[in-house]
Amino acid sequence: MRSTYDCDVLVIGGGIVGLSTAYAITRAAPGTRVTVLEKEPGPARHQTGRNSGVIHSGIYYRPGSLKARYAVRGAAEMVKFCAEYGIPHAVTGKLIVATDRAELPRLHALVQRGRENGIPVRELGASQIAEYEPEVRGLAAIHVGTTGICDFVAVARQLAHGSGAEIRYGTRVVRVDRRPERGVAVLTASGDVVRGRVLVNCAGLQCDEIARLTGDDPDMRIVPFRGEYYELARPELVRGLVYPVPDPAFPFLGVHLTRGIDGGVHVGPNAVPALAREGYGWGTVRPRELGSTLAWPGSWQIARRHWRYGAGELRRSLSKRAFTEAVGRLLPGVSEGDLVRTAAGVRAQAVLRDGTLVDDFLIREGARTVHVLNAPSPAATASLPIGREVARRALSAL
């Protein structure tokens, strides 16, 4: 039986950003009718539920950027939110370790960046690393005390429960009819029509597709990168969180070690191009989505500029020995037998036409639309302030 549903704000996407937006709207403007459409049978099935569960401090991000402001603020708010609702979490701190002399200037730059972002940082010499991680080796390190871990899926469920929004799972959007004077009407795969005064696009891996359905040209494409993880069979080797010094040319943090809220240690992610928007393995290929990625000029620019980096990631994807060698630079005692492959994630990376990897969060507005077009890590950490910002824009468009 076909039905028609009406609301004030229609949110597409039931990940942590979409649910945080619904939560923020109903708190900022009680009585506002909010409907969330999610194509999966439950919340947080993609980026939110397939990451390492880290509450990021904000140390990596350019001072003044949305990522820096929202991550620093969001980390404190996320810890408070988890404590208030009894969601498993811990403030663990983390080490960022330099294993090569060429990384030392970048490590020192992170110290300065952390201070500019208001983050407490302790500098460590090689012998001091063992105070935190006895099995980790490096030339120098920094300790960032405000980093933590939590269960982001549980956070998403709490946001859904507390928002008061109507949340419709298993609802895939196939068409959007936008009329600036009348709002938007969405047709779902089941034939239902959902009408709203304003549409908020928090569709993650599909956000550029949804933007185009509304008639807005996002002038970017989502290029999916699969993050491949292993689990450490000897979790006693790692006490907390250990990261390499990241390469500032890329939005990826490199293969790191993360003791999760369940006590297990995740190792990864490796980052390789995915052959589908939700391509969690090499065997998942969707020709239309792959063709869209290959047709975007920015994809070829990325390949041309960064093929050496990509070749290294691909080698670690195909060779467990190569992956183990990368981990061994931080954790010399690790062996191939210590690594057990586990679930992968896919990063929704916005890429501009010229091949620029969009580094900051990207939120754009159209007539009666708000599009969240780049919200990879640390979006889960920053989801509460991001949700408030998107909510503010949506409410101003009513």
Q: Which of 120, 56, 135, 130 is closest to 91 using CA atoms? A: 56
pLDDT in tens, 175-194: 999 987 789 999 999 999 99
Q: What is the DSSP string of 298-360?
A: HHHHHHHHHHHHHHHHHHHHH-HHHHHHHHHTT-TT--GGGEEE---EEEEEEE-TT--B--S
SS3 90: strand
pTM of the full structure: 0.94
Question: Which strand (E) or helix (H) includes residue 157?
Answer: helix 152-163
| pLDDT number for residue 251 | 62
Cα atoms in the 13 Å half-sphere on the side-chain side of 348? 28
Sequence ranges of the domains in the chain? 4-47+154-220+360-396, 94-145, 224-357
- C-alpha–C-alpha distance, residues 385 and 110, integer Å: 24
First-to-last alpha carbon distance for the chain, in angstroms, is: 30
| pLDDT number for residue 1 | 45
Question: 224-357, which class in CATH?
Answer: alpha beta
Q: What is the DSSP string of 22-91?
A: HHHHHHHSTT--EEEEESSSSS--STTTSS--EE--STTSPTTSHHHHHHHHHHHHHHHHHHHHT--EEE
pLDDT in tens, 50-69: 998 999 999 999 999 999 99
| pLDDT number for residue 67 | 96
Write out the chain's pLDDT in tens, 398 residues. Answer: 455 668 999 999 999 999 999 999 999 999 999 999 999 999 999 999 999 899 999 999 999 999 999 999 999 999 999 999 999 999 999 999 999 999 999 999 999 999 999 999 999 999 999 999 999 999 999 999 999 999 999 999 999 999 999 999 999 999 999 987 789 999 999 999 999 999 999 999 999 999 999 999 999 999 999 999 999 999 999 999 999 998 876 667 788 999 999 999 999 998 999 999 999 999 999 999 999 999 999 999 999 988 888 898 999 999 999 999 999 999 999 999 999 999 999 999 999 999 999 999 999 999 999 999 999 999 999 999 999 999 999 999 99
**CATH entry 3.50.50.60 includes domain 4-47+154-220+360-396:** yes
- Using only C-alpha atoms, what is the Rg of the chain? 21
Residue 211's DSSP bridge partners are none
- C-alpha–C-alpha distance, residues 136 and 130, integer Å: 7
Phi, psi of 9 (to 5 degrees): -120, 125
